[in-house]
Amino acid sequence: MQKRKFGKSNLEVSAIGLGCMRMSAGHGPVTGTKQEMITVMRGAVERGITFFDTAQAYGPFVNEEVVGEGLAPVRDQVVIATKFGFALHAHGKPSSGLDSRPDYIKESVEGSLKRLRVDTIDLLYQHRVDPDVPIEDVAGAVKDLIQEGKVKHFGLSEAGAPTIRRAHAVQPVTAVQSEYSLWWKRREEGILPTLEELGIGFVPYSPLGRGSLTGTITENTQFLEGDNRGRFPRFSVEARKANRALVDLIAAFAAQKGATSAQIALAWLLAQRPWIVPIPGTTKLERVEENIGATALQLSADDLRELHSLTSKVAVQGGRYPEELERMTNR
Protein backbone atom coordinates (compact mmCIF):
# COMPACT_ATOMS: atom_id res chain seq x y z
CA MET A 1 0.00 0.00 0.00
CA GLN A 2 1.29 3.45 -0.91
CA LYS A 3 1.70 5.94 1.93
CA ARG A 4 1.08 9.68 1.98
CA LYS A 5 1.95 12.49 4.38
CA PHE A 6 -0.43 15.29 5.25
CA GLY A 7 1.32 18.42 4.04
CA LYS A 8 4.19 19.54 6.24
CA SER A 9 3.16 17.35 9.16
CA ASN A 10 4.75 14.06 10.17
CA LEU A 11 1.41 12.23 9.96
CA GLU A 12 1.72 9.44 7.39
CA VAL A 13 -1.20 7.21 6.40
CA SER A 14 -2.21 4.82 3.64
CA ALA A 15 -3.09 6.54 0.35
CA ILE A 16 -6.67 5.31 0.74
CA GLY A 17 -8.48 5.43 4.07
CA LEU A 18 -11.74 3.91 5.26
CA GLY A 19 -14.79 5.94 6.21
CA CYS A 20 -16.63 4.06 8.93
CA MET A 21 -19.81 6.15 9.28
CA ARG A 22 -22.20 3.56 7.86
CA MET A 23 -20.83 0.75 10.01
CA SER A 24 -23.35 1.72 12.69
CA ALA A 25 -26.90 2.99 12.77
CA GLY A 26 -27.64 6.71 12.63
CA HIS A 27 -27.05 7.65 8.99
CA GLY A 28 -28.75 4.73 7.35
CA PRO A 29 -29.51 1.05 7.86
CA VAL A 30 -26.53 -1.14 8.67
CA THR A 31 -26.14 -3.98 6.19
CA GLY A 32 -24.22 -6.27 8.52
CA THR A 33 -23.66 -7.16 12.16
CA LYS A 34 -21.15 -5.41 14.38
CA GLN A 35 -18.86 -8.42 14.12
CA GLU A 36 -19.04 -8.26 10.34
CA MET A 37 -18.05 -4.59 10.45
CA ILE A 38 -15.13 -5.46 12.72
CA THR A 39 -14.08 -8.14 10.23
CA VAL A 40 -14.11 -5.52 7.45
CA MET A 41 -11.96 -3.12 9.47
CA ARG A 42 -9.41 -5.74 10.40
CA GLY A 43 -9.40 -7.05 6.84
CA ALA A 44 -8.69 -3.53 5.65
CA VAL A 45 -5.68 -3.35 7.98
CA GLU A 46 -4.41 -6.69 6.65
CA ARG A 47 -4.60 -5.19 3.15
CA GLY A 48 -2.60 -2.12 4.10
CA ILE A 49 -5.17 0.50 5.09
CA THR A 50 -4.00 2.43 8.12
CA PHE A 51 -6.38 5.43 8.20
CA PHE A 52 -9.87 5.14 9.73
CA ASP A 53 -12.47 7.88 10.08
CA THR A 54 -15.27 8.16 12.61
CA ALA A 55 -17.05 10.89 14.66
CA GLN A 56 -18.90 11.46 17.88
CA ALA A 57 -22.02 12.33 15.88
CA TYR A 58 -22.12 9.01 14.02
CA GLY A 59 -24.77 7.15 15.93
CA PRO A 60 -24.24 9.28 17.96
CA PHE A 61 -21.34 7.69 19.83
CA VAL A 62 -21.99 4.11 18.67
CA ASN A 63 -19.67 4.37 15.67
CA GLU A 64 -16.70 5.30 17.86
CA GLU A 65 -17.43 2.25 19.99
CA VAL A 66 -17.48 -0.07 16.97
CA VAL A 67 -14.27 1.44 15.57
CA GLY A 68 -12.61 1.26 18.97
CA GLU A 69 -13.47 -2.40 19.41
CA GLY A 70 -12.55 -3.28 15.85
CA LEU A 71 -9.15 -1.63 15.86
CA ALA A 72 -8.07 -2.32 19.45
CA PRO A 73 -5.92 -5.37 18.56
CA VAL A 74 -4.14 -3.43 15.79
CA ARG A 75 -3.96 -0.05 17.49
CA ASP A 76 -0.23 0.33 16.88
CA GLN A 77 -0.74 -0.09 13.11
CA VAL A 78 -3.47 2.49 12.51
CA VAL A 79 -4.33 6.18 12.59
CA ILE A 80 -7.79 6.94 13.95
CA ALA A 81 -9.54 10.23 13.22
CA THR A 82 -12.66 11.40 15.03
CA LYS A 83 -14.62 14.64 15.27
CA PHE A 84 -16.28 16.91 17.82
CA GLY A 85 -18.57 19.87 17.38
CA PHE A 86 -22.19 18.76 17.35
CA ALA A 87 -24.22 19.41 20.48
CA LEU A 88 -24.79 15.87 21.67
CA HIS A 89 -25.17 16.54 25.40
CA ALA A 90 -28.53 16.70 27.14
CA HIS A 91 -28.03 19.99 28.98
CA GLY A 92 -27.55 23.50 27.61
CA LYS A 93 -27.93 22.38 24.00
CA PRO A 94 -27.55 25.36 21.64
CA SER A 95 -30.31 25.95 19.10
CA SER A 96 -27.72 25.84 16.30
CA GLY A 97 -27.14 22.14 16.89
CA LEU A 98 -23.42 22.87 17.20
CA ASP A 99 -21.23 23.23 20.26
CA SER A 100 -17.52 23.96 20.10
CA ARG A 101 -17.15 25.71 23.42
CA PRO A 102 -13.71 24.82 24.79
CA ASP A 103 -15.08 23.16 27.93
CA TYR A 104 -17.40 20.99 25.87
CA ILE A 105 -14.62 20.05 23.45
CA LYS A 106 -12.50 18.82 26.34
CA GLU A 107 -15.41 17.02 27.97
CA SER A 108 -16.43 15.31 24.73
CA VAL A 109 -12.87 14.19 23.98
CA GLU A 110 -12.79 12.28 27.25
CA GLY A 111 -15.75 10.28 25.98
CA SER A 112 -14.10 9.68 22.61
CA LEU A 113 -10.94 8.37 24.26
CA LYS A 114 -12.96 5.81 26.21
CA ARG A 115 -15.11 4.73 23.29
CA LEU A 116 -12.14 4.43 20.93
CA ARG A 117 -10.13 2.56 23.60
CA VAL A 118 -7.10 4.79 23.05
CA ASP A 119 -4.86 6.98 25.17
CA THR A 120 -4.43 9.53 22.40
CA ILE A 121 -6.60 10.55 19.44
CA ASP A 122 -4.41 10.65 16.33
CA LEU A 123 -6.40 13.29 14.43
CA LEU A 124 -9.19 15.36 15.98
CA TYR A 125 -11.39 17.40 13.65
CA GLN A 126 -13.91 20.10 14.40
CA HIS A 127 -16.88 18.53 12.59
CA ARG A 128 -18.51 21.82 11.61
CA VAL A 129 -17.47 25.39 12.32
CA ASP A 130 -19.51 26.83 15.20
CA PRO A 131 -20.49 30.45 14.39
CA ASP A 132 -20.94 31.17 18.09
CA VAL A 133 -17.40 30.25 19.13
CA PRO A 134 -14.32 32.02 17.71
CA ILE A 135 -12.16 29.55 15.82
CA GLU A 136 -9.17 30.83 17.82
CA ASP A 137 -10.83 29.50 20.99
CA VAL A 138 -11.46 26.14 19.32
CA ALA A 139 -7.86 25.88 18.14
CA GLY A 140 -6.66 26.90 21.59
CA ALA A 141 -8.69 24.14 23.23
CA VAL A 142 -7.26 21.52 20.88
CA LYS A 143 -3.78 22.95 21.48
CA ASP A 144 -4.30 22.33 25.20
CA LEU A 145 -5.36 18.75 24.48
CA ILE A 146 -2.26 18.22 22.33
CA GLN A 147 -0.05 19.54 25.11
CA GLU A 148 -1.78 17.16 27.54
CA GLY A 149 -1.04 14.22 25.23
CA LYS A 150 -4.69 13.43 24.57
CA VAL A 151 -4.59 14.47 20.91
CA LYS A 152 -1.79 14.36 18.33
CA HIS A 153 -3.11 16.36 15.37
CA PHE A 154 -5.76 19.04 14.74
CA GLY A 155 -8.15 19.03 11.80
CA LEU A 156 -11.12 20.97 10.45
CA SER A 157 -14.11 19.75 8.45
CA GLU A 158 -16.03 21.85 5.90
CA ALA A 159 -14.22 25.02 6.95
CA GLY A 160 -13.68 28.00 4.65
CA ALA A 161 -10.23 29.32 3.75
CA PRO A 162 -10.29 32.34 6.13
CA THR A 163 -11.26 30.08 9.05
CA ILE A 164 -8.49 27.62 8.19
CA ARG A 165 -5.95 30.44 8.24
CA ARG A 166 -7.13 31.78 11.59
CA ALA A 167 -7.11 28.33 13.20
CA HIS A 168 -3.71 27.47 11.74
CA ALA A 169 -2.20 30.60 13.29
CA VAL A 170 -3.11 29.32 16.78
CA GLN A 171 -2.53 25.58 16.37
CA PRO A 172 -1.13 24.14 13.13
CA VAL A 173 -3.85 22.30 11.21
CA THR A 174 -2.72 18.90 9.95
CA ALA A 175 -5.68 18.07 7.70
CA VAL A 176 -8.92 19.52 6.39
CA GLN A 177 -11.80 17.23 5.51
CA SER A 178 -14.47 18.26 3.02
CA GLU A 179 -16.53 16.75 0.25
CA TYR A 180 -14.60 16.55 -3.03
CA SER A 181 -15.09 14.29 -6.02
CA LEU A 182 -15.55 14.17 -9.77
CA TRP A 183 -18.99 15.68 -9.30
CA TRP A 184 -18.23 18.14 -6.50
CA LYS A 185 -15.12 20.13 -7.41
CA ARG A 186 -15.78 23.34 -5.47
CA ARG A 187 -12.76 22.72 -3.24
CA GLU A 188 -10.49 23.57 -6.16
CA GLU A 189 -11.56 27.21 -6.03
CA GLY A 190 -10.25 28.36 -2.66
CA ILE A 191 -9.53 25.50 -0.31
CA LEU A 192 -6.86 23.51 -2.15
CA PRO A 193 -4.63 26.53 -2.92
CA THR A 194 -4.86 27.58 0.74
CA LEU A 195 -3.91 24.12 1.95
CA GLU A 196 -1.00 23.96 -0.48
CA GLU A 197 0.29 27.32 0.73
CA LEU A 198 0.03 26.37 4.41
CA GLY A 199 1.24 22.77 4.07
CA ILE A 200 -2.00 21.14 5.21
CA GLY A 201 -3.30 17.76 4.01
CA PHE A 202 -6.74 17.18 2.52
CA VAL A 203 -9.19 14.34 3.18
CA PRO A 204 -12.05 14.12 0.67
CA TYR A 205 -15.14 12.50 2.12
CA SER A 206 -17.87 11.09 -0.15
CA PRO A 207 -15.21 10.62 -2.87
CA LEU A 208 -17.65 8.35 -4.71
CA GLY A 209 -20.57 10.76 -4.48
CA ARG A 210 -22.22 8.77 -1.67
CA GLY A 211 -22.31 5.80 -4.01
CA SER A 212 -23.58 7.61 -7.11
CA LEU A 213 -20.29 7.57 -9.00
CA THR A 214 -20.14 3.77 -8.76
CA GLY A 215 -23.14 3.52 -11.08
CA THR A 216 -25.12 1.41 -8.64
CA ILE A 217 -27.71 4.11 -7.85
CA THR A 218 -30.35 4.93 -10.46
CA GLU A 219 -33.63 6.85 -10.54
CA ASN A 220 -35.31 3.55 -9.64
CA THR A 221 -33.28 2.99 -6.46
CA GLN A 222 -35.43 2.88 -3.33
CA PHE A 223 -33.57 4.13 -0.26
CA LEU A 224 -34.30 2.18 2.88
CA GLU A 225 -35.91 3.89 5.87
CA GLY A 226 -33.35 5.91 7.79
CA ASP A 227 -30.93 6.33 4.86
CA ASN A 228 -30.06 10.02 5.02
CA ARG A 229 -29.57 10.19 1.25
CA GLY A 230 -33.33 9.96 0.90
CA ARG A 231 -33.66 13.58 2.05
CA PHE A 232 -30.72 15.04 0.12
CA PRO A 233 -31.75 17.10 -2.93
CA ARG A 234 -29.10 15.46 -5.11
CA PHE A 235 -30.78 12.10 -4.53
CA SER A 236 -34.26 13.12 -5.59
CA VAL A 237 -35.59 11.02 -8.46
CA GLU A 238 -35.33 13.98 -10.84
CA ALA A 239 -31.72 14.73 -9.86
CA ARG A 240 -30.66 11.10 -10.12
CA LYS A 241 -32.17 10.87 -13.58
CA ALA A 242 -30.39 14.04 -14.73
CA ASN A 243 -27.06 13.11 -13.15
CA ARG A 244 -27.01 9.69 -14.76
CA ALA A 245 -25.36 11.29 -17.81
CA LEU A 246 -22.26 12.10 -15.76
CA VAL A 247 -22.20 8.65 -14.17
CA ASP A 248 -22.39 7.02 -17.61
CA LEU A 249 -19.53 9.16 -18.98
CA ILE A 250 -17.28 8.09 -16.10
CA ALA A 251 -18.30 4.44 -16.56
CA ALA A 252 -17.38 4.58 -20.26
CA PHE A 253 -13.98 6.10 -19.45
CA ALA A 254 -13.39 3.43 -16.78
CA ALA A 255 -14.23 0.65 -19.23
CA GLN A 256 -11.56 1.96 -21.62
CA LYS A 257 -9.02 1.76 -18.78
CA GLY A 258 -10.07 -1.71 -17.64
CA ALA A 259 -11.08 -0.29 -14.27
CA THR A 260 -14.27 0.30 -12.32
CA SER A 261 -15.92 3.69 -12.03
CA ALA A 262 -15.05 3.79 -8.33
CA GLN A 263 -11.38 3.18 -9.08
CA ILE A 264 -11.30 5.98 -11.66
CA ALA A 265 -12.99 8.39 -9.23
CA LEU A 266 -10.45 7.59 -6.52
CA ALA A 267 -7.45 7.61 -8.88
CA TRP A 268 -8.55 11.05 -10.10
CA LEU A 269 -8.50 12.35 -6.53
CA LEU A 270 -5.10 10.82 -5.81
CA ALA A 271 -3.73 12.51 -8.94
CA GLN A 272 -4.80 15.98 -7.84
CA ARG A 273 -2.22 16.45 -5.06
CA PRO A 274 0.25 14.13 -3.29
CA TRP A 275 -1.20 15.14 0.10
CA ILE A 276 -4.79 14.11 -0.66
CA VAL A 277 -6.14 10.96 1.05
CA PRO A 278 -9.74 9.99 0.18
CA ILE A 279 -11.81 8.01 2.66
CA PRO A 280 -14.42 5.98 0.75
CA GLY A 281 -16.88 4.31 3.07
CA THR A 282 -17.99 0.72 2.68
CA THR A 283 -19.23 -2.19 4.74
CA LYS A 284 -17.93 -4.84 2.33
CA LEU A 285 -14.40 -6.20 2.15
CA GLU A 286 -14.61 -6.72 -1.61
CA ARG A 287 -15.24 -2.99 -1.99
CA VAL A 288 -12.23 -2.26 0.21
CA GLU A 289 -10.13 -4.33 -2.18
CA GLU A 290 -11.65 -2.58 -5.20
CA ASN A 291 -10.89 0.82 -3.70
CA ILE A 292 -7.30 -0.15 -2.92
CA GLY A 293 -6.96 -1.06 -6.59
CA ALA A 294 -7.24 2.64 -7.43
CA THR A 295 -3.74 3.22 -6.06
CA ALA A 296 -2.32 1.10 -8.90
CA LEU A 297 -3.95 3.22 -11.58
CA GLN A 298 -1.72 5.84 -13.16
CA LEU A 299 -3.76 8.52 -14.90
CA SER A 300 -1.73 10.44 -17.46
CA ALA A 301 -2.00 14.17 -18.07
CA ASP A 302 -4.10 13.34 -21.13
CA ASP A 303 -6.37 11.12 -19.01
CA LEU A 304 -6.88 13.90 -16.50
CA ARG A 305 -7.65 16.42 -19.23
CA GLU A 306 -10.17 14.02 -20.75
CA LEU A 307 -11.86 13.42 -17.39
CA HIS A 308 -12.02 17.16 -16.79
CA SER A 309 -13.59 17.67 -20.21
CA LEU A 310 -16.08 14.84 -19.78
CA THR A 311 -17.23 15.86 -16.32
CA SER A 312 -17.52 19.53 -17.31
CA LYS A 313 -20.15 18.64 -19.90
CA VAL A 314 -22.79 17.78 -17.31
CA ALA A 315 -24.03 20.24 -14.68
CA VAL A 316 -24.77 18.19 -11.58
CA GLN A 317 -28.34 18.69 -10.42
CA GLY A 318 -29.51 19.02 -6.81
CA GLY A 319 -27.89 20.40 -3.68
CA ARG A 320 -25.66 18.04 -1.75
CA TYR A 321 -27.41 18.77 1.59
CA PRO A 322 -30.78 20.07 2.77
CA GLU A 323 -30.62 23.81 3.40
CA GLU A 324 -30.19 23.57 7.19
CA LEU A 325 -27.14 21.32 6.80
CA GLU A 326 -25.66 23.25 3.88
CA ARG A 327 -25.62 26.37 6.07
CA MET A 328 -23.13 24.59 8.34
CA THR A 329 -20.53 24.24 5.58
CA ASN A 330 -17.78 26.47 4.18
CA ARG A 331 -17.78 28.86 7.15
Q: Of 330, 213, 319, nearest to 268 (Cα)?
A: 213
Look at residue 174 and tell me if it is in a domain: yes
Partnered with residue 53 across adjacent β-strands are 19, 81
What domain range is 52 assigned to? Answer: 3-208+272-297
Q: Is the Cβ–Cβ distance between 152 and 122 less than 8 Å?
A: yes
pLDDT digits (tens, 9 = 90+) for 94-113: 667 999 999 999 999 999 99
Look at residue 90 and tell me if it is in a domain: yes
- Residue-wise DSSP of 33-98: -HHHHHHHHHHHHHTT--EEE--TTTTTTHHHHHHHHHHGGGGGG-EEEEEE-B--SSSS--TTSB
Look at residue 242 and tell me if it is in a domain: no
Look at residue 99 and tell me if it is in a domain: yes
Q: Of 108, 72, 78, nearest to 93 (Cα)?
A: 108
Look at residue 312 and tell me if it is in a domain: no
296 pLDDT band (50/70/90 cuts)? very high
**Catalytic residue ranges:** 58
On the 0-12 / 13-18 / 19+ scale of CB atoms within 10 A, 154 is buried
Look at residue 55 and tell me if it is in a domain: yes
Task: Report the predicted TM-score, pTM, of the whole model to 2 decimal places.
Answer: 0.96
CA 38/CA 63 separation, integer angstroms: 11
Look at residue 262 and tell me if it is in a domain: no
pLDDT digits (tens, 9 = 90+) for 204-262: 999 999 999 999 998 999 988 888 898 999 999 999 999 999 999 999 999 999 999 99
Which are the contacts of 149, defined by CB distance < 8 A and separation ≥ 6?
A: 119, 120
The mean of the pLDDT values for the chain is: 95
CATH number at residue 168: 3.20.20.100
Look at residue 263 and tell me if it is in a domain: no
- Domain total for the chain? 1
Q: Of 321, 144, 147, nearest to 228 (Cα)?
A: 321
pLDDT at residue 224, as a whole number: 84
Q: Which amino acid is present at 24?
A: S
